[in-house]
Amino acid sequence: MSEFTEITINGVPIFPAEVITGNVFFVDSGTGSNDNPGTKDLPFATIDHAIGHCTDGNGDYIYVYPGHTETIAAAGGITCDVAGVSIIGLGNGNARPTVTWSATASSWLITAANVLIKNIITTISIDEVVSMFAVSAAGVTFDAVDFKPYASGQAIQFLLTTNAADQLTIKNCKHNQTAAAAANQVWIDLVGTDHTRIINNTIWITAKAATASICISGSTAVIQCEIVGNRIAWLGATITEVIKLATGSTGIISDNRVAGGAAVLLAAAITGDACYMFENYVTNTAAASGILGPGADTVT
């Protein structure tokens, strides 16, 4: 379906029609059906079905209605396998679309390049969800993809990459989980990516009490990354590191505010090997101001 006129929701334009070159589809679990054509008035019922109607590299858009709910019950329950698709949730606050992971192996796979996911809520309905998102393609962006806690269980990991996930951007997200998973937690795991940007996120996680629990990890060297402007409370006894990039990593780690449990140490909370560091502050004590971490340079 091609749309060449301005489309509005409640009288508000959701995109300027003159800049849309691809197809536009709509999704709504309340009124939609996968037998529909996916128009504004006759939307599809699921995001995954809408992806299947997109054209590779065409710049297609999927708009997801306020209040939409969708469940991922298996690995690849949603799979972004069409390049260049933008999936955009409509609505504000708690009225945004919500996607729920309902099995420990549930996952949303992104195997095609240049995919955007924006303005949705994610959550779980079972304990020990292993890894929510798996990204194995370049140019993927997560923008305001929030995570809300589940009262009776925890997610172990939010996102895992392969080394093909270059130019990954994670920005403007808010993640909250107030009880620890049973397994060691690596919330965002970058595996050999280039030009990753993790910027302006708020992550407040009570994690498994273990030295292997890391909030942002480059488990294989990441190249020219930007980890900038994040506010992280990565809480749990015996946790020593919050941002940890493997030997050989390069980039900029700047202007992050990091809080951890009592075991978090100034010298270890943020490690980035060959990354440049600017104005990162670390504290392991509530009601105390953070201090520069790592320590200040001694350039003369």
Cβ 158 vs Cβ 173: under 8 Å: no
- pLDDT tens digit string along 48-61? 999 999 999 999 99
Q: Residue 267: its pLDDT value, please?
A: 72
Q: How far is Cα of residue 204 from the mean position of the Cα atoms in its chain?
A: 14
Q: Is the pLDDT reported for residue 294 higher than 90? A: no
- Given a cut of 60, whether residue 5 has pLDDT beyond it is no
pLDDT (tens digit per residue) in 62-74 = 999 999 999 999 9
Q: What percent of the chain has pLDDT over 70?
A: 93
User: What per-residue confidence (pLDDT) applies to 293?
Assistant: 84
Cis amide leading into 294 (omega within 30): yes
- Give the CATH number of domain 8-285; options: 2.160.20.10, 2.160.20.80, 2.30.130.40, 2.120.10.30: 2.160.20.10
pLDDT of residue 3: 46
Confidence class for position 15, pLDDT limits 50, 70, 90:
low
Per-residue pLDDT tens over the stretch 129-184: 999 999 999 999 999 999 999 999 999 999 999 999 999 999 999 999 999 999 99
Tally of CB atoms within 10 A around 27: 27
pLDDT at 12: 43
Distances from the Cα of 199 to the Cαs of 1, 65, 93, 142, 143, in angstroms?
34, 26, 20, 11, 10
pLDDT at 288: 85
121: which residues sit within 8 A by CB, 6+ positions away? Answer: 89, 94, 96, 97, 98, 99, 146, 147, 148
pLDDT tens for 212-238 read: 999 999 999 999 999 999 999 999 989
Token pair belonging to 133: 């998102």
**Residue-wise burial string across 29-49, b where 16 or more C-beta atoms lie within 10 A, e elsewhere:** beebeeebebebeebbbbbbb
N-term to C-term CA, the chain: 63
In 3D space, the residue among 73, 172, 192, 57 whose CA is nearest the CA of residue 115 turns out to be: 57
pLDDT number for residue 184: 97
- Name the nearest CA neighbour of 275 among 299, 250, 256: 250
| CA torsion angle 109 95 188 85 (round to 10) | 40
Q: Cα(90)–Cα(118) distance, rounded to whole angstroms?
A: 9
Q: Which residue has the tokens 């995570």?
A: 147
Q: What is the pLDDT of residues 243-282, one digit of tens each?
A: 999 999 999 999 999 999 888 877 789 999 999 999 999 9
Q: What percent of the chain is modeled with pLDDT above 90?
A: 82
Nearest to 27 by CA among 56, 74, 58, 67: 67
Cα–chain-centroid distance for residue 221? 20
Q: CA-to-CA distance for 87 and 34, rounded, in angstroms?
A: 17
Model pLDDT, residue 300: 63
pLDDT of residue 280: 95
Those residues whose C-beta lies under 8 Å from the C-beta of residue 99, and which sit 6 or more positions away, are: 47, 69, 70, 71, 72, 78, 108, 120, 121, 122, 123
